[in-house]
């Protein structure tokens, strides 16, 4: 038990490696005859707070926006590909068309009808992969390169927007009654890869109030099926 008039000293151990001085604070009275002595420690190196100004925030936002625009522009940059025609009886291929493309559209830069050997029936159409040099293509009838045919190359793109295969289709140009001139041109289109349809497993069966499948056509009775048929 402390006696009246006895002072109470509170000793606090503090890491003073980062303190410069110790200052005695005002003595407060807790009760008559009792005093508590407090100390205030002054920090020599107080922690610093980083304040972001409006200009710094604007610079960060502009940098982020520029990064997005650069990525989008890179994705939309036109790529180039050479398409070759390779008659089945020929020893080497010949350039059929030079194309530029992006994930949205493609353009024919140049086209030259292939020189086909006499009696040729099959012509291979394809390209060489830039990374491996391997050949990918299809085979078509040589008659599809005749004048008056609307020839179209299809560029099949993968998820990265690169050509992984090609297609080729033709159709006859419509001719007027007066007899228009035949065309010998080439067009191109891009065919992006579409996500495959997903199968929903464990799909709940929905029944109506009568305990039948909802959305199913109402089953006809025997009379409804055959009453109106002629005998």
Q: In terms of domains, do 47 and 128 share one? A: no
* Residue 132 is assigned to a structural domain of this protein: yes
Would you give the distance in Å from CA 231 to the centre of its chain?
A: 64
Q: In terms of domains, do 53 and 90 share one? A: no
Q: In terms of domains, do 51 and 105 share one? A: no
HSE (CB half, 13 Å, CA atoms) of 195?
Answer: 3
Q: In terms of domains, do 109 and 153 share one? A: yes
* Residue 229 is assigned to a structural domain of this protein: no
Say how far apart CA 26 and CA 121 lie, in whole Å: 109
Q: In terms of domains, do 89 and 172 share one? A: yes
pLDDT at 140: 95
Q: In terms of domains, do 83 and 120 share one? A: yes
Q: In terms of domains, do 22 and 53 share one? A: yes
Which residues are CB-contacts of 9 (< 8 A; sequence separation ≥ 6)? 37
The secondary structure element, H or E, covering residue 59 is helix 54-76
Say how far apart CA 167 and CA 165 lie, in whole Å: 7
Q: In terms of domains, do 135 and 184 share one? A: yes
Number of domains in the chain: 2
* Residue 142 is assigned to a structural domain of this protein: yes
Say how far apart CA 76 and CA 94 lie, in whole Å: 29
* Residue 154 is assigned to a structural domain of this protein: yes
pLDDT single digits (tens) 157-185: 998 999 999 999 998 876 654 444 455 68
- Contact between 25 and 44 under an 8 Å Cβ cutoff? The reply is no
HSE (CB half, 13 Å, CA atoms) of 99?
Answer: 25
Q: How far is CA 15 from CA 20, 65, 212, in A?
A: 11, 47, 80
- Contact between 82 and 163 under an 8 Å Cβ cutoff? The reply is no
Q: In terms of domains, do 48 and 106 share one? A: no
* Residue 92 is assigned to a structural domain of this protein: yes
Beta strands 149-157 and 186-191 are parallel
Residue 145's domain comprises: 79-191
Q: In terms of domains, do 101 and 30 share one? A: no
Q: In terms of domains, do 128 and 43 share one? A: no
Which residue, chain included where needed, has tokens 């205030």? 40
Residue whose C-alpha is closest to residue 141's, from 149, 133, 129: 149
Torsion of CA 164, 149, 99, 167, to 10 degrees: 0
* Residue 176 is assigned to a structural domain of this protein: yes
pLDDT single digits (tens) 26-48: 444 444 555 444 444 444 555 55
pLDDT at 148: 83
Torsion of CA 18, 24, 26, 30, to 10 degrees: 90
Within a 10 A sphere around the Cβ of 83, how many other Cβ atoms? Answer: 23
Q: ∠122-123-128 over CA atoms, to 5°?
A: 145
Q: pLDDT tens, position by position, for the chain (231 residues)?
A: 555 555 444 444 444 444 444 444 444 444 455 544 444 444 455 555 455 556 666 677 677 667 666 655 545 688 999 999 999 999 999 999 999 999 999 999 999 999 999 899 999 999 999 889 999 999 999 999 988 889 999 999 998 999 999 999 998 876 654 444 455 689 999 999 888 778 878 878 878 787 777 777 777 777 777 766 665
* Residue 217 is assigned to a structural domain of this protein: no
* Residue 23 is assigned to a structural domain of this protein: yes
Q: In terms of domains, do 43 and 84 share one? A: no
């Amino acid at each position: 038990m402390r006696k009246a008039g006895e002072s109470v000293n509170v000793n606090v151990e503090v890491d003073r490696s980062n303190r410069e001085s110790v200052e005695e604070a005002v003595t407060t009275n807790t009760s008559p005859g009792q005093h508590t002595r407090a100390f205030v420690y002054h920090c020599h190196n107080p922690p610093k707070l980083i304040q972001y100004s409006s200009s710094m925030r604007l610079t960060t936002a502009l940098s982020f926006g520029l990064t997005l625009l650069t990525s989008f522009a890179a994705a939309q940059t036109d790529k180039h590909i050479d398409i070759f025609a390779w008659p089945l009886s020929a020893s080497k291929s010949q350039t059929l068309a030079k194309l530029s493309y992006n994930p949205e559209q493609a353009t024919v830069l140049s086209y030259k009808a292939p020189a086909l050997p006499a009696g040729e029936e099959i012509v291979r159409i394809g390209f060489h992969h830039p990374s491996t040099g391997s050949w990918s293509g299809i085979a078509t009838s040589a008659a599809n390169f005749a004048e008056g045919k609307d020839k179209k190359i299809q560029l099949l793109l993968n998820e990265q927007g690169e050509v992984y295969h090609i297609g080729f289709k033709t159709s006859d140009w419509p001719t007027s009654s007066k007899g228009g001139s035949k065309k010998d041109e080439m067009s191109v289109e891009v065919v992006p890869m579409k996500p495959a349809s997903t199968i929903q497993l464990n799909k709940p069966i929905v029944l109506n109030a009568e305990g039948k499948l909802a959305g199913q056509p109402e089953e006809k009775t025997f009379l409804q099926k055959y009453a109106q048929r002629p005998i």
